Amino acid sequence: MKNIVILISGRGSNMEAIVNACQREGWPARIAAVISNKASASGLQFAASHGIATAVVDHKAFDSREAFDAELARVIDGYAPDVVVLAGFMRILTEGFVRHFEGKMLNIHPSLLPSFPGLHTHQRAIEAGCKLAGATVHFVTPELDHGPIVTQAAVPVLSGDTEADLAARVLKQEHVIYPQAVRWLVEGHLSIEQGIVRHAQGASQVRWGD
Ligand code: GAR
């Protein structure tokens, strides 16, 4: 049984999708803990109500990124994680933290990386006149929203779309590709060769949404 630790900062809808898929599909894994940098993250309630251990490491209580990341790593390590999942965890991570969990930490970002790393991705895609937008699951490297790509989902950008319209269309796909990617990692199907992620059984790493 592998241990999955999920980090959130807010709503936690991707975390919910992963918790539900793990249970429904009977993964050889359990969600060992959900950890937030904010006590107010509403996703913590969902986790607690599903009998999952929760913890808060408040970044405001630390005077440096290094100190916060060291404590966060210590708390995560307490759950003996095989996989660490960043699910809307809105913190820039230090290189030391990222290296500590290298190869077992995934992130989801709501754009077709390497386009639009950072914030306000949907608005920026609309303003750039993009016809496609989407989401990317990637292994975490020290560079923000960057790293070997596990899977991507693409959706159309429709004329008249607001930021909220596009965010909702992308989020629906996030809830499909993120559980799938976490499951692949848990089951040992992924390898990284020269920065390219391969699936051992050749599963499609592309999804088209509408
Ligand atoms: C998701 O859209 C996720 O892709 C994004 O935050 C949202 C969290 O929603 N993450 C990032 O922007 C990371 N750079 P959730 O809390 O409902 O899962």
DSSP string computed for 24-58: HHT-SEEEEEEEES-TT-THHHHHHHTT-EEEE--
50 Cα: distance to centroid of ligand 1 (angstroms): 21
Residue with tokens 């759950």: 79
Task: Identify the CATH number of the domain defined by range 1-101.
Answer: 3.40.50.170
pLDDT the model gives residue 149: 98
Percent of the chain, pLDDT > 90? 100
- How is the chain split into domains, by residue range? 1-101, 107-210
Nearest CA among 133, 171, 147, 185 for reference residue 14: 171
Q: Matching CATH topology for 1-101 and 107-210?
A: yes
DSSP string of 100-119? HTTTSEEEEESS-TTSS-SS
Q: What is the pLDDT of residues 7-32, one digit of tens each?
A: 999 999 999 999 999 999 999 999 99
Residue 168: CB atoms within 10 A of its CB come to 13
Q: Is 127 exposed, middle or buried (0-12, 13-18, 19+ CB in 10 A)?
A: exposed
Q: What's the order of all strands across the beta sheet hosting 29-36?
A: 53-56, 29-36, 2-8, 83-86, 105-109, 132-139, 149-156, 206-208
- Assessment of whether the complete model's pTM goes beyond 0.95: yes
Residue nearest to atom 6 of ligand 1 (CA): 88
Q: How far is CA 78 from the centre of its chain?
A: 20
Q: What's the rounded mean pLDDT across residues 79-101?
A: 97
Q: pLDDT digit string (tens) for 144-165?
A: 999 999 999 999 999 999 999 9
C-beta separation of 3 from 80 below 8 A: yes
Q: What does each C-alpha distance from 201 to 21, 27, 29, 184 come to in angstroms?
A: 20, 17, 20, 10
29 forms beta bridges with: 2
Q: How far is the CA of 37 from the centre of ligand 1 (A)?
A: 14
Read off the pLDDT band of 184 (50, 70, 90): very high
pLDDT of residue 142: 94
φ/ψ (deg, to 5) at 152: -135, 145
Q: Pull the structure tokens for residue 37.
A: 């940098």
Query: 30-76: per-residue pLDDT in tens?
Result: 999 999 999 999 999 999 999 999 999 999 999 999 999 999 999 99
Q: What is the CA radius of gyration of the chain?
A: 16
Question: From 3.20.20.70, 2.30.140.10, 3.40.640.10, 3.40.50.170, which CATH number describes the 107-210 domain?
Answer: 3.40.50.170
Tokens at 87, concatenated: 């699910």
Q: Is 109 a catalytic residue?
A: yes
List 109, 122, 138, 175, catalytic entry: 109
Pick the atom of ligand 1 nearest to 11's CA. 16
By CB neighbour count within 10 A (0-12 exposed, 13-18 middle, 19+ buried), where does 59 fall? middle
